[in-house]
Structure 1
Amino acid sequence: MKNIKKLVSTALITMFAFSAVGCNMIEKTPEAIAKSPVAVVNGEKITRGELDKSADMMGVVAQLKQKYGENYDKNDEAKEILKTERQKVVDKMVTEKVIEQKAKELKLMPDESKLKTEVDKQYSDTKQQFESSGAKFDEVLKKEGFTEQSLKDFFLAQTRNNEIFKNVTDNLSKDIKIDDKKVGDYYNSNKNQFTEKPNKIHVAHILVKTEDEAKKVKERLDKGEEFGKVAKEVSTDPGSKDKGGDLGTVPYVDSGFDPKFMEAAIALKEGTISGPVQTSFGYHIIKAIKKEEYPVKKLDSVKDQIRKQLEDEEKQKVVSQKIEEWKKAAKIKTYEKNLQ
C-alpha cells in the first residue's frame, strides 16, 4: 500500500503543479465531448471525460504545457503527441476494464470499506504534506476545481485499480511453485550473477561489416600487428575507433552490450583475442585486456533470492498471457475519432 500511496500522492502533486487539466477540459469543450465514448468493453463505456481526467493523461498534458505553453493544443506537433498518448492511455484503460470485469466475475474485488479507510488516510497525509509546505490546502482544492469528495474519488479509483490487479495476480499465480531443480539449474547457468563482487572485464573490439573482413583482421593480429593500430584503421565503430577499439571496463552482468558480444568476451582468457563474433551490429574481433573475477557465492546463500526471482518471472508470464486471453475474448470497440 505504501507504493500505491506514493504513486497517488505523486499524481496529485503533478496535477496541482501544472493546473487542473480535467477542469480545463470542461471549460474548453462541450459536455457532449466529455460524455462521448473512447472505448466500449463488453458493453461498459469508457468516456473521453474519464480519459482526460485520468492521472496518466494529466501527466501527459502537464509535460506538454511545460514544453509548448498553455496553448499547447494549438501546436500541430503537440496535437499529434496528445493523440498518440491518448491512444496509449485508452489501451491501458481498456486492459484495466477487462481485468476489473474478470475480478467481479471471480469475486476478487477489493473490500470497499477498507479502500475507503486507506483513501481517507491518503487524503489526510496529502493535506498534511501540502500544509506543512505553507500551502492552504482548502484554497488549493477550490482554485483547482476540486472538492474533498472529488479528490477522494480520484484517490479511490487509483487505489482500487492497484488492489484489483494485485488480487487478480495473486489468484492467477497461486499455484506457481519453483522447485529446487529449477533453482539449481538457474544458479549453474548464471553464476556470474552471484559472485562476491561484480565480475568485470576491460575489453576492446574491432567492428567490421562482413565475416571475411573480420577474418582478415584476425590474420593481421595473429601476425603480430598491434590491436589498437588495426582498430583505428578499419573499425567501423565511431565510439571506440579513435581509442584503438577500447570500450573500457564493464561488468559481466548488465553491461549494456550485446549478449552475444559479452558471452564471447567473457569466454576469452585475459590478454587473448577472439575470432569473428557476429551480432546485429556486424562482426567483431574482441580482445580481453584485463579481467576481474571473484568467487561465486554458495547456492544455499542465494537460493531464496533465485526462487523469488523465478517465481516473479513466472507470475508475470502467466498473468500477461491470461490477460491477453481475456482481451481477445472480450468485445472491445474503440472510437479513434473521439480522441481528436
Structure 2
Amino acid sequence: MRRFGKYCAMLIVLVFILSAAGCTLIEVVPEKDRQRVVAEVYGEKILKGEFLDVYNQQKAYYGITEEIEKDAQYKDTIKEIKKDVLEQLITRKVLQKKAEQAGFTVNEEYINEARKELEEQFKSYAETLKQQAQSQGEKAQGEKDYLEEARNEWRKQLNNAGLTEEEYITRRAEDIMLEKFAEKMLEDVKVTEQDIKQYYDEQLNKQKQDPSLVETALVQLYRPAGWVRVKHILIPLSSEEREGYYNLIQQGKQEEAKKYLDEKLKAIEPTAREVYDKVKAGESFEALIETYSEDKSATNKEDGYVIYKGSGLFAEEVEQAALELDEGEVSQPIGSPLGYHIIKLYEKLPEKVFTLEEKKEEIEAVVLDDKRNDKWNSLLEEWKKEAKIKKYENRL
C-alpha cells in the first residue's frame, strides 16, 4: 500500500526488530515494579514490564543514555517518548482485539510468511557482506559462509534483546496478521476521476506559484526552467581522508581544513587528469564510470542525475560548474570533499507542465494513500473510544 503501508506499520508494528547497530535491554527495574498496571484496554491490563521492554529498546535505538534520561533539559522529551511508547502499546492492544473480532488470528500461514521474510533478509544481508568484502579486495568466501555470518549477527542481536527465535517469529507473524487486517478494513476505499482531477489542478497551481515545492512534491507536475541531466565520474578521496577533513570543519578549523583538502586532492589529481584526457579523446563516459568512478550506481550509469541551482545533490562548487556546461560538454576535474568530479551534461531540460494523463497513475496512488490514511485514523479513533482506555502515565 505504498505510503499507507509505512504509515500503518508505524501504528501496529512496535520496535521489536532491532537496528543493525544493536539494542541491549537493561533489566534494572525490580520485578514488583514491572507488575504495575500502566494502562487498561477493553479491561485488559498493560503492565509496566511490557512498557519497559519496548521503551528500553527505543532508548538504545536513539542512543538515550541514563545521563541523558536524568538531564533536566531532556525531561519533556523523555516524557513524550514514554507517552508515545505507551500509546503504541495501547494501539496494538486495540488492533489485536478488533482483528480477533474480525476473525484474524496468528496462524501457520502467517508464521511461515514471517520465516520466509526473515530468510530473504538473511540472503540480502549476506549479499551485502559479500559485496563489502569484494570492494575491500578480500577473497570471496563461499555463499554459505556469508549467509551463516548474517544469521549469527541476527542471533546475537536477538539474544541482546532477550528474545528467542520463536518469540521473534511469533511477533513478526502477528505484525503481518495485523497488516492483513488493516488491508481488509480498507479494501473498499476507492479513488474517483474527480479526486484525481482535483488533486492535479490544486497541486499544479501550487507548484507553478512556488517552484520550490516541486523538490519535495509527492507527484511532480511542473518542471521549472534551469534543470539539467548530468552524469559524473568521481575519483574519490579515501574514507579516512574525508573523515579527517570533516573533523577539522566540525572543530571550526576552516583554514586548516582547506589546506588539508587541497593537499589530499593534489595526490589524486594525476588520476583525475588521466580520466579527463580519456574522455576528451572520445572514450565512452559510461565505460569510464565503470572503470574509475566511485559512484557506479544505476542512476549514474543509466539516466543520470537531474540537478538545478540549490538541488544539493553535489557540493555547491560542483553543482555550479555543472550548470554552466553546454549539452554534451564535459567539465574539467572539480575538487570537493569527496574527491574529483568530472561532469558531463547530457541534457538541458526545458520548462514543462506535465499532463494529467502523464501523472494519472502516480496521482491515483497518492490520493488512495491519503484516503486510506483518513479512514484508518477515523477507525482508530472510533475503536479507541469503545475500548474504554485508562492510562496511568504517572507510573511510567
Correspondences of 1:97-176 after superposition (within 5 Å): 97-107=93-103, 109-124=104-119, 129=125, 132=146, 133=149, 136-137=152-153, 140=156, 144=160, 146=162, 150-168=164-182, 170-176=183-189
Q: What residue identity is the alignment partner of 2:51?
A: L
1:40 match: 40
How far apart are the structure 1 equivalents of 2:118 and 2:353? 48
User: Is residue 324 of structure 1 aligned with residue 381 of structure 2?
Assistant: yes
How well do the aligned residues superpose, as a CA RMSD in angstroms?
A: 4.1
Correspondences of 1:291-310 after superposition (within 5 Å): 294-310=351-367
2:201 match: 188
Work out whether residues 197 and 356 of structure 2, in 8 Å CA contact, stay in contact via their aligned partners in 1. yes
Going from structure 1 to structure 2, the CA distance change for 1:295 and 1:12 (only over 3 Å counts) comes to closer
User: Is residue 20 of structure 1 aligned with residue 24 of structure 2?
Assistant: yes
How far apart are the structure 1 equivalents of 2:105 and 2:39? 24
Q: What residue identity is the alignment partner of 2:112?
A: T
Q: Secondary structure at the match of 1:53?
A: helix
How far apart are the structure 2 equivalents of 1:138 and 1:144? 10
Going from structure 1 to structure 2, the CA distance change for 1:313 and 1:87 (only over 3 Å counts) comes to same
Correspondences of 1:1-340 after superposition (within 5 Å): 12-14=17-19, 17-21=21-25, 24-25=26-27, 28-54=28-54, 57-65=56-64, 68=65, 75-77=71-73, 81-107=77-103, 109-124=104-119, 129=125, 132=146, 133=149, 136-137=152-153, 140=156, 144=160, 146=162, 150-168=164-182, 170-191=183-204, 192=207, 198-199=223-224, 294-339=351-396
How far apart are the structure 2 equivalents of 1:138 and 1:315? 34
How far apart are the structure 2 equivalents of 1:183 and 1:63? 39
TM-score when normalising by structure 2: 0.49
1:283 match: none
- Aligned-residue offset at 1:53: 1.9
- Aligned-residue offset at 1:91: 1.0
How far apart are the structure 2 equivalents of 1:297 and 1:138? 46
Q: What residue identity is the alignment partner of 2:41?
A: V
TM-score when normalising by structure 1: 0.56
- Aligned-residue offset at 1:41: 0.2
How far apart are the structure 2 equivalents of 1:249 and 1:127? 41
Q: What residue identity is the alignment partner of 1:20?
A: T
Work out whether residues 223 and 352 of structure 2, in 8 Å CA contact, stay in contact via their aligned partners in 1. no
Work out whether residues 37 and 48 of structure 1, in 8 Å CA contact, stay in contact via their aligned partners in 2. yes
Q: What residue identity is the alignment partner of 1:310?
A: V
- Aligned-residue offset at 1:18: 4.5
- Aligned-residue offset at 1:89: 0.8
Q: What residue identity is the alignment partner of 1:42?
A: Y
Work out whether residues 199 and 293 of structure 1, in 8 Å CA contact, stay in contact via their aligned partners in 2. yes
How far apart are the structure 2 equivalents of 1:74 and 1:195? 46
How far apart are the structure 2 equivalents of 1:18 and 1:299? 46
Going from structure 1 to structure 2, the CA distance change for 1:84 and 1:151 (only over 3 Å counts) comes to farther
How far apart are the structure 1 equivalents of 2:222 and 2:158? 55
Q: Secondary structure at the match of 2:352?
A: coil
Q: Secondary structure at the match of 2:353?
A: coil
Work out whether residues 189 and 368 of structure 2, in 8 Å CA contact, stay in contact via their aligned partners in 1. yes
How far apart are the structure 2 equivalents of 1:164 and 1:187? 33
- Aligned-residue offset at 1:164: 0.9
Work out whether residues 106 and 177 of structure 2, in 8 Å CA contact, stay in contact via their aligned partners in 1. no
